[in-house]
Amino acid sequence: MNAIDISAILSVAFLGSLGHCIGMCGGFVMAYTSAKIDPSSAALHQFFAHLIYNFGRMSAYVVLGLLFGALGSLFTFSAYVSGYFYFVAGIIMVLMGLSMMGKIKFLTSLESNLAFHPFVKKLFSYLIHTKKMVSFYGLGVLNGFLPCGLVYFFLAKAATSGSAFYGALTMALFGLATMPVMLGLGYVVGFLKGNVFRDWMIKIASLIIVLYGIYMSYLGYSAVVG
């Protein structure tokens, strides 16, 4: 994992959390905050509840990163095969970035349809109606496994790492970079939901995804023809 990789992960994750995550997860966070957290409770208790939720979210990301990194290792037996894998992964990243910009529809239906699957709704209902602290962790795990265009990009990156360890590390970095905004969502949601601000953050993050996808495809092309 080089400096370009780490820079892309942190910048896309942070900017994406200011744009895409607010739209995708904002309702989720506000729902459990309203239903499960008493506004009159101690500030430390409220913070701890949000922190547990975010740890649950990160746990799901790390597991997914580990699985996709291990899957990617199957394509790293030779530079030639790896080149094709990098090229295809880069094209997918470009399509994801264009989809987030609203230029094309790519995985959009999957992102929305699975989120409203009856099983997901039933599990969410159970977790949101129990007051146990561990339920915040469960909600975070559920949120982490829900389909999301931004997560798809990082899973593609995890797969290209060709390592279960680096795949998990990629997703851990993604989770950490999105945590500040997700932790403070309840306090600054009014500002972050501003359409102009969110649109700009999504556009910048999407552009970085497109450029990084082109970079990955170039690396794959160079490996194949070189």
- Would you list the DSSP string of 87-154? HHHHHHHHHHHHHHHTSS-SSHHHHHHHHT-HHHHHHHHHHHH---THHHHHHHHHHHHS--HHHHHH
Q: What is the pLDDT of residue 128?
A: 82
Cα angle 219, 220, 224; round to 5: 120
Q: How far apart are CA 194 and CA 19, in angstroms?
A: 10
Q: What percent of the chain has pLDDT over 90?
A: 17
pLDDT tens for 98-142 read 776 777 766 555 555 555 567 777 888 888 888 788 999 999 998
168 within 8 A of 67, measured Cβ to Cβ: no
Residue 32 three-state SS: helix
pLDDT tens for 163-187 read 999 999 999 999 998 888 788 775 5
Q: What is the pLDDT of residue 188?
A: 52
Q: Sorting pLDDT into bands at 50, 70 and 90, what band is 24?
A: low
Q: What is the mean pLDDT of residues 37-53?
A: 84
Q: Which residues have a Cβ under 8 Å from the Cβ of 49 and sit 6 or more positions away?
A: 36, 37, 133, 136
Q: What is the pLDDT of residue 59?
A: 96
Q: How far apart are CA 62 and CA 116, in angstroms?
A: 23
Length of the chain: 226
220 pLDDT higher than 90: no
Q: How far apart are CA 15 and CA 181, in angstroms?
A: 10
97 within 8 A of 153, measured Cβ to Cβ: yes
The torsion angles phi and psi of 163, rounded to 5 degrees, stand at -150, 135
The single-letter code of the amino acid at 168 is: A
- Assigned token pair, 27: 């309702």
Q: Which residues have a Cβ under 8 Å from the Cβ of 165 and sit 6 or more positions away?
A: 66, 69
178 within 8 A of 19, measured Cβ to Cβ: no
Q: How far apart are CA 164 and CA 116, in angstroms?
A: 30
Q: Sorting pLDDT into bands at 50, 70 and 90, what band is 38?
A: confident
The single-letter code of the amino acid at 179 is: M
